[in-house]
């Protein structure tokens, strides 16, 4: 493949959102290596990498950045400073990959770095490591100095120069989407011409955000997030599964000073928010927009009949509104047939809000059915692994 080949294009093959991390006591890190193994869903001839300090308030310097033993450069330089509130894209790196390869993206922080920018995600394809010391170029991280992490700091998106038939589907949402179903969908899509790009931040709402240290990790509101997170090369579709936190968070200032009842929107306000903040901008980008219904909340600690009635009304709009190109009915895929307010048996993680792994697999199945034209057969799937 050549970068001048007209039959090639840049397509995002991996991505997460960037938000305010849950720093708790630890705000800075020094003399640390971060490594993220990424499985390639497409073959290609070159890669480029986006690093984000979107929610940082100080510059962060990555002293070394590598893919395997190959340095990733920025304007020809191997050391890069990420400015606060900004995202930085690398040079295009000539680096041949085959579908199914796992690449290791490693970077070293030699001096104190503010660890504000990142996100927490989980799933079978989402894992990272950190090690004390400089091991950015090492084949293996030292076992005694290394731990696993699901926090993805600074690394935001990887693009691959690949066949023009390949394209990306964006999964946009909150903690439901920050957990496993996009990874399971990526597994189902593996071997097709579709990549799955996750843009999800736990605790986020469509219409509000928290500006206090207690809930900083709950991230940015839709008007701030969406234009930034939809910077996805080769994207053709976006799935929007968002809004449950707008419904369940407000409890009144007498219970929690940061969660006033004034934050509780009407269903109509949520509908307008989705249309104005998400659908219209996505359509202007040439994307198809798929609604994702909200999941059961029966038994959740702030559950009441009013909140569930809001969820039901919002879901009916998501299913029927002509502004969407279609609906992915996640609610129908995971709810109990005899008590549709609740999860089906085995589909509740235990907190009555987040699904179990089995339920996430079911969500991936219904999304894949709508958005992946050819789902590889079980035989093909096993061969590709």
In this structure, is residue 327 part of a structural domain? yes
In this structure, is residue 42 part of a structural domain? yes
Average pLDDT of span 94-118: 97
* Other beta carbons less than 10 A from residue 222's beta carbon: 25
* Residue 156 near residue 232 (C-beta atoms within 8 A): no
* Residue 174 near residue 245 (C-beta atoms within 8 A): yes
Same domain, 298 and 149: no
Same domain, 145 and 194: no
* Residue 261 near residue 210 (C-beta atoms within 8 A): no
Same domain, 33 and 173: no
Q: Is the pLDDT of residue 310 over 90?
A: yes
Average pLDDT of span 88-115: 97
pLDDT of residue 376: 59
Cα dist from 186 to 180, 221, 235, 288, 363, whole Å: 10, 26, 15, 19, 12
In this structure, is residue 379 part of a structural domain? no
Give 6's pLDDT tier (boundaries 50, 70, 90).
low
Average pLDDT of span 40-60: 97
pLDDT of residue 22: 87
Same domain, 318 and 183: yes
- H or E segment at 169? strand 167-173
Q: How far apart are CA 185 and CA 80, in angstroms?
A: 34
pLDDT of residue 290: 98
Q: Would you call 149 helix, strand, or coil by DSSP?
A: strand
What's the pLDDT tens digit per position in 156-185? Answer: 999 999 999 999 999 999 999 999 999 999
Of 158, 190, 216, the residue at which a domain comes to its end is: 158
Same domain, 222 and 298: yes
pLDDT of residue 384: 32
**What are the residue ranges of helices labelled H in the chain?**
175-178, 181-189, 222-229, 244-248, 267-273, 280-284, 305-320, 330-334, 357-371, 378-384
Domain boundaries, position 145: 20-158
In this structure, is residue 382 part of a structural domain? no
Q: How many domains does the chain have?
A: 2
* Residue 5 near residue 108 (C-beta atoms within 8 A): no
In this structure, is residue 151 part of a structural domain? yes
Q: Is the pLDDT of residue 67 over 70?
A: yes
In this structure, is residue 383 part of a structural domain? no
Closest CA to 60 of 129, 163, 156, 181: 156
pLDDT of residue 250: 97
> By percentage, how much of the chain surpasses pLDDT 90?
92
Q: What is the pTM of this model?
A: 0.94
* Residue 179 near residue 25 (C-beta atoms within 8 A): no
Same domain, 197 and 132: no
Same domain, 82 and 183: no
Of 110, 130, 158, the residue at which a domain comes to its end is: 158
DSSP of 284-342, one letter per residue? HTT-EEEEEPPPP-TT-TT--HHHHHHHHHHHHHHHH-TTSSEEE-HHHHHB-SS-TTS
- Name which of 62-66, 92-96, 341-345, 376-380 the model is least confident about: 376-380
374: which residues sit within 8 A by CB, 6+ positions away? Answer: 192
Q: Which single residue is written with the structure tokens 């034209």?
A: 373
pLDDT of residue 378: 44
Same domain, 111 and 171: no
Q: How far apart are CA 94 and CA 297, in angstroms?
A: 48
Average pLDDT of span 254-265: 97
Of 158, 183, 208, the residue at which a domain comes to its end is: 158
**CATH number of the domain where residue 280 is located:** 3.40.50.1110
Same domain, 269 and 367: yes
* Residue 119 near residue 153 (C-beta atoms within 8 A): no
Same domain, 65 and 170: no
pLDDT of residue 23: 77
Same domain, 199 and 308: yes
In this structure, is residue 91 part of a structural domain? yes
Same domain, 183 and 130: no
DSSP of 24-56, one letter per residue? TT--EE-SEEEEEEEE-SS-EEEEEEEEE-TT-
In this structure, is residue 381 part of a structural domain? no
Q: How far apart are CA 60 and CA 108, in angstroms?
A: 11
């Amino acid at each position: 493949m050549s970068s001048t080949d007209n039959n090639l294009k840049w397509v995002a093959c991996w991505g997460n959102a960037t938000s305010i991390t849950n720093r708790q006591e630890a705000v800075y890190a020094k003399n640390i290596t971060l490594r993220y193994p990424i499985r390639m869903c497409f073959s290609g001839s070159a890669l480029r990498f986006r690093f984000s300090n979107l929610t940082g308030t100080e510059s962060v310097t990555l002293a070394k950045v590598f893919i395997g033993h190959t340095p990733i450069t920025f304007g020809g330089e191997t050391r890069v400073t990420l400015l606060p509130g900004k995202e930085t894209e690398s040079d295009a790196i000539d680096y041949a990959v085959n579908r199914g390869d796992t690449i290791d993206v490693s970077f070293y922080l030699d001096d104190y770095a503010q660890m504000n920018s990142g996100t927490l995600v989980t799933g079978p394809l989402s894992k990272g490591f950190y090690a004390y010391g400089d091991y950015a170029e090492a084949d293996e991280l030292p076992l005694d100095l290394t731990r696993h992490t699901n926090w993805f700091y600074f690394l935001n998106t990887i693009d691959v120069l690949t066949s023009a038939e390949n394209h990306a589907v964006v999964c946009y949402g909150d903690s439901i989407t920050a957990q496993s179903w996009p990874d399971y969908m990526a597994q189902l899509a593996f071997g097709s011409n579709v990549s799955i790009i996750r843009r999800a931040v736990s605790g986020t709402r469509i219409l509000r955000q928290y500006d206090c240290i207690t809930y900083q990790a709950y991230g940015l509101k839709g008007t701030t997030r969406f234009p930034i997170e939809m910077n996805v090369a080769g994207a053709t579709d976006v799935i929007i599964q968002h809004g449950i936190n707008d419904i369940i968070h407000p409890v009144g200032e007498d219970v929690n000073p940061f969660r006033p009842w004034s934050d509780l929107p009407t269903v109509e306000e949520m509908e307008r928010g989705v249309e104005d903040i998400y659908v219209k901008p996505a359509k202007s980008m040439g994307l198809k927009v798929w609604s994702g219904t909200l999941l059961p909340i029966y038994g959740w600690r702030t559950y009441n009949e009013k909140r569930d009635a809001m969820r039901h009304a919002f879901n009916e709009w998501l299913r029927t509104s002509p502004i969407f190109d279609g609906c992915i009915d996640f609610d129908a895929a995971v709810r109990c047939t005899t008590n549709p307010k609740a999860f089906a048996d085995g589909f509740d993680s235990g907190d009555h809000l987040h699904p179990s792994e089995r339920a996430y697999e079911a969500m991936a199945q219904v999304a894949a059915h709508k958005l992946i034209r050819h789902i590889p057969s079980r035989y093909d799937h096993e061969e590709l692994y």
